Amino acid sequence: MTTVIRRASLSDLGSICRLRIQRTAWLTARGSDQWTVAGRGRPIEIFASAVGRSLDAGETWIAEVAGEPAGTITVNDQADPGLWSPWELADAVIVHYMIVDLRFAGQRIGHRLLAHAASLAREQQRHWVRLDAWTTNTDLHDYYRREGFHLVRIAGPVSSGPSQALFQRRSDSWTFEPMTPVLTRMPEPLPGFEAHSGGR
C-alpha cells in the first residue's frame, strides 16, 4: 500500500495523542518506563500542548495508509537544553515524537517518516538528522541503529531529562523512495475549525 505523508493540522491532535497513549501502554507492557510519569515522561496534557505548538508552527507530519493515520513525526531545529551544542543544532533538523500506530507495525512507516525528515533537512541545506532517544530504552536504540543512525553520546549532566541518548545520521545518506507521495499543503479544515495560536 502507498504511504502518503502530509503536513498535520490541529484536527490531527486527537489522533496523535491516541498514538502516544497506545504506544506508552505497549512500552509499559514490555517493562519500559518510556513516556510514563514514573519515568519522568510528560503527562499527556503537557504532550498535547507541546504538539499543539508544533502543529501551529507547521512542524508536524502524518503518515497515512489508505487514508488512515499510521504514524506521526515532528521535525524542527530545536532540542531540550544540554542535549546538542549550538553548532550541532545549526546544521541539523531534530526529530521529535515519532510514533507509529501498532496496526501498521512492520510496514516501514518509521523508515518513511525518518526519510521525510532527511528530505526536509536537505531542503534546508542541513547535513544531519539528529534525535534524542529514551536513555534506558535499548530496544529503541537498536531500532535507530538499524535505520542507519549511530550513537553520538549520552548527554552530560547539563541535561537532566530521561531522553539523553543522542543519535544522528547524515541527511544525504538516504535513498529516497519516489513511490512515496508527500503532500506539503495542509488538509482542508473541518467545518467550524479554526486554528489556535500560541507561542513556543
Domains identified in the chain and CATH numbers: 3-126+175-183 (3.40.630.30)
* Mean pLDDT, the chain, integer: 89
Place 199 in a pLDDT band, splitting at 50, 70 and 90: very low
- 2-6, 99-103, 114-118, 180-184, range with the lowest pLDDT: 180-184
User: Residue 49: which region, alpha, beta or left (left: phi > 0; alpha: psi -120 to 50)?
Assistant: alpha
pLDDT surpassing 50 at residue 180:
no
Mean of pLDDT values over 15-29: 97
Length of the chain: 200
SS3 (DSSP) at 98: strand
Note the pLDDT of residue 78. Answer: 97
Residue-wise pLDDT tens digits, 42-78:
999 999 999 999 999 999 999 999 999 999 999 999 9
Set of cell numbers at residue 17: 495523542
Set of cell numbers at residue 167: 543519535
pLDDT surpassing 50 at residue 94:
yes
Place 37 in a pLDDT band, splitting at 50, 70 and 90: confident
Selected residue with higher pLDDT from 93 and 191: 93
Note the pLDDT of residue 195. Answer: 29
Mean of pLDDT values over 81-94: 97
d(CA 125, CA 106): 31
Set of cell numbers at residue 19: 498514538
Contact 171, 124 (CB under 8 A): no
Exposure string of 34-72, with b = 16+ CB inside 10 Å and e = fewer, is: bbeeebebeeeeebeeebbbbbbeebbbbbbbeeebbbb
Going by C-alpha positions, the residue among 121, 120, 122 that lies closest to residue 182 is 120
User: The pTM is what?
Assistant: 0.87
pLDDT surpassing 70 at residue 91:
yes
